Amino acid sequence: MNRRLLTALGASLLLVATLLPSATIAASPRDSGPFTKSGIYIVQLDELPVVAYDGRTPGLRATRAAAGLKVDRTSADVVRYSNHLSSRHDAKIRAAGGRKVYDYTFTFNGFAARLTARQANKLAGDKNVVSIVPDELREMDTSNTPDFLGLTGRRGLWSKLGGPKSAGENIVIGVVDSGIWPESLSFSERVRRGVPSYTGTDVYGRPRGWHGTCQTGEIFVLADCNDKLIGARYFNAAWGGNAGINAQRPWEFTSPRDYNGHGTHTASTAGGNYNTPTTGPAEVFGSISGMAPRARIAMYKALWSTQDASTASGFTSDLVEAIDTAVADGVDVINYSISGTTTNFADPVEISFMFAAEAGVFVAASAGNNGPATATVAHPSPWITTVAAGTHNRDGRGSVTINVPGSAAATFNGASIAQAVGPAPLIDAEAAGLPGASATAVRLCFTASDNGGTPALDPADVRGKIVVCDRGTNARVNKSLAVQQAGGIGMILVNTSPNSINADFHFVPTVHLQNTDRAAVKAAAAVAGATATINAATIVFDAPAPFTAAFSSRGPLAAGGGDILKPDVIAPGQDILAAVAPPGQNGLDFNLLSGTSMSSPHVAGVAALLKDLHPKWSPMAIKSALMTSASDVLDGPNTDPVVIFRQGAGHIRPNSAADPGLVFDSGFDDWRGFLRGQGLCTLCGGSTPAVAIDASDFNQASIAIGDLAGVQTVTRKVTNVGHDRETYSASVTGLTGITVNVTPASFTLRPGQSRTISVKFTRTTAALNAYAGGQLTLASRKHSVRVPMVIRPVALAAPAQVSGTGGPISYNVTFGYDGPFSATARGLVPAVLTPGTVADDPADNFDPEGEGVASFDVAVPAGTTHARFSLFDEFTDGADDLDLYVFNSAGTLVGTSGSGTSAEQVDLRNPAADTYTVFVHGFATDGPDATFTLFHWILGSTAAGNMTVSAPSTATTGATGAINLTFSGLEPATKYLGSVAYGGVAGLPNPTIVRVDTP
């Protein structure tokens, strides 16, 4: 489930607003810094958090745990240092003003506080403040996969751990999600043996280092925890606490209890009990098991559901507190099936996970559900295992037979678990709308709850018929509910673009068809007298698999300049059967859900098994083992970069990961060096300053170079984690047109021994500005260690954008050719500012014809080289979440931006001359509406006389050159945009965008 999933949107009548001429930004007292509004801010300070503290402060002993041990939150040293950090937080708040919301001390040194703009700006200028960011709203990313993954059987990983009744014993999986349904059989008491009921402190066989608690609340008592569900907490301070939830989402439980079902599902998948019998419609599939069936579960509820359970969301401040608490409690693994940044390694959640990994906690995170679009993968950090979603071998196969008078019957095959129904009259939903219902609501078969309280389908047209509904926007099962409520007896659900087809538990018999069948089915439904029969479905366990699920987000990664490969691995994520919470799942105890939310807990559960098998392995060793032992999806050859950007290193194979041979390990100093190489690390000093690491050289089990300028060498360090002395030899497949030399080509390692290898890439004939893919394999007689590679040769490696405030800017470029070179200025041009107001969209679904949108027409003339449309958090009137959508005059969506705040940007490079319509969507305003300022720039190909560029006149392969920019005549308090265009040879990159915000 993803609130930003767009369906085909037709042209619509647009409201035109008059655009204002170029303007400057008038400063006011509260604008004396980057922040201009009140709200919750997350503030990071410069001392190390508990899990990484090395004793550098006089009088405070180190709290960093030894390798393989957990930090003890009850120890005197930890309590003393944690109190020290909290007192520093309090001092900063006293000095600046504001009200504390959370203290973070274990995985993030800082706090969340309610601050005015003035207070936030004051803190931003404090020398001890590393970063300060506004709170953001983030959302969840939404039969026997143990058999499919090979965990079962005599040679499966479970057997190596004593069987399913001991696999994952005493490993604690912390799940940050929407809560848990404790009555589910997936979490029933593991053992009793005469032990009294759970008291919140007495747990039979307490896992070593566990300090968590069972927090009571609405319909959640101590007895709801047990020896399986050993911890449960909830976090809602950013919503205003229980009172805020009761006011904003009154249907929710102000406790760890799950309303939505998402958290119960992910917890059940990762560590649900073995051989749990299913009930209701799921009974046909038999029993289910979690990946680590003897693991303990600790739930950290920080997502709060919509009433229809279409999604659940939470604020960054609550999520960071949940992570901080989970690590302090002593979890071994965290599953995080929640959306995240695609661009920012220093995001508070990403930093919290870095310190969680330093504490020995393995983190699995969902890659996102924005596929099949490329460059959409989230959670970019290398210390996280980012998981894409694939299919598996269980399938519900169904079909529908359509009869049109005068034509032969046609049968269409799709996904289904339906009982037979029909023949019955066939009708297209588009022809069955209630008067006044929007065309979009009708076509998508909205229920009343989907449509602001008014149903979309007309019972007079639907009763007794099989209805054709388009996929998109509302939940798939809600569409069949709309059909049922209007008296329909069956549904044909059709994709409008390539996407997954899913065998859901629908309210009426349903078959789900691919978009390639849509035109034919809709044409048949338009014929008078057409009938349809939904045929009985069959459940099979031999479907070809795995393929990449269409919704799964893909690389290349937007962060890191293409030098980090994400996702890391792929795991089952489509039609996953697990326990759910009945309130948000139509009364079901078990349901089929799809998303990278479902693939991530597979990896978390398998990581728990590997941690059980290899207690001394680091989180990065586990990640490496999963990557180097992976297999391929069936989408195409593993040397195709498109395939690699879908699967990462490949589909997890737990049994092979248990004995990988070699691992690519990394630790805290490596992560600090990585951040320093990205220009992000302000925690890189101290007694051992971090050494900057180029992202391509980061020691992980993949290789990515986003800008190979002729030749580049990367290094990797491998460690033998096997039991024998082995000799490995290197081989390479793929990377056509690029010569690859591995040094040494062969090497021998004793158990526990490490060595560094170098891999040199030299472009010969590979196409410029296009990725090439390949695989590096290090093979011994017993092991095959495979590393995916994606390389993009360029004639010139140059930054996509540079920024400044009006002073000189200097940056380096690297040449991938020999010959002449030039760099010329375009612009700078000032922004055009357009004020506007947009109402809150109660449905949280963008529709050009619906509520909560404001539109602006922008004429883009011929010869435009770059058009940019932007919103800024500081130019709205509150803590608003606004989104941008840009359409051309034909009604085609050409750009969108939808983060958890109002910081949005859409770029059009060399756009066609046209009048574009920019929609501002009021996804979540902090009142009935939001005022904002829309910024846009139209950049041509000429200089404006206010930017001077100096650069080398010749290029030499592999050499670097400095580009120096100086500025003159700029107005104060103005946002400018320009670019530096490159010349001299064919295939040079796009111009480097220049942003100058004058004070």
Residues carrying an active site annotation = 177, 262, 597
β-pair partners for 129:
45
Name every residue whose Cβ is closer than 8 Å to that of residue 514 and which is 6 or more positions away in sequence.
414, 494, 495, 498, 499, 501
CA distance 522 to 531: 12
Helix (H, G, I), strand (E, B) or coil at 624: helix
Question: Do residues 639 and 775 make contact, with C-beta atoms less than 8 angstroms apart?
Answer: yes
Q: For 77-194, where are the E strands, in sequence order? A: 99-104, 110-115, 129-134, 137-139, 172-177
312-to-178, 451, 549, 587, 929 alpha-carbon distances in Å: 7, 18, 22, 18, 22
Q: Which two tokens stand for residue 860?
A: 């883009």
SS3 track for 389-456 = EECCCCEEEEEEEEECCCCCCEEEEEECCCCCEEEEEEEEHHHCECCCCCHHHHHCCCCCHHHCCCCC
β-pair partners for 268:
none
Q: What is the CA radius of gyration of the chain?
A: 28
Helix (H, G, I), strand (E, B) or coil at 86: helix
CA distance 822 to 950: 9
Burial of residue 109 (CB within 10 Å: 0-12, 13-18, 19+) is buried
Nearest to 537 by CA among 576, 594, 578, 490: 490
DSSP states along 844-897: ----TTSSSEEEEEEEE-TT--EEEEEE-GGGBSSS-EEEEEEE-TTS-EEEEE
Could you check whether the bond before residue 989 is cis, i.e. omega within 30 degrees of 0?
A: no
Residue type for position 382: P
Number of residues in the chain: 999
Burial of residue 861 (CB within 10 Å: 0-12, 13-18, 19+) is exposed
Nearest to 939 by CA among 988, 983, 977, 989: 977
Question: Do residues 350 and 380 make contact, with C-beta atoms less than 8 angstroms apart?
Answer: yes
CA terminus-to-terminus distance, the chain: 42
CA distance 505 to 58: 61
Helix axes 117-124, 76-96, angle to 10 degrees: 120
Nearest to 671 by CA among 692, 702, 648, 649: 692
Q: Which two tokens stand for residue 166?
A: 């001991």
Name every residue whose Cβ is closer than 8 Å to that of residue 904 and which is 6 or more positions away in sequence.
870, 871, 882, 883, 884, 897, 898
Name every residue whose Cβ is closer than 8 Å to that of residue 740 and which is 6 or more positions away in sequence.
732, 759, 760, 761, 774, 776
β-pair partners for 338:
140
According to DSSP, residue 223 is labeled G
Max distance between CA atoms of the chain, in angstroms, equals 91
For Cα atoms 966, 969, 974, give the angle at the middle one, nearest 5 degrees.
95
Q: Which two tokens stand for residue 787?
A: 């590393």
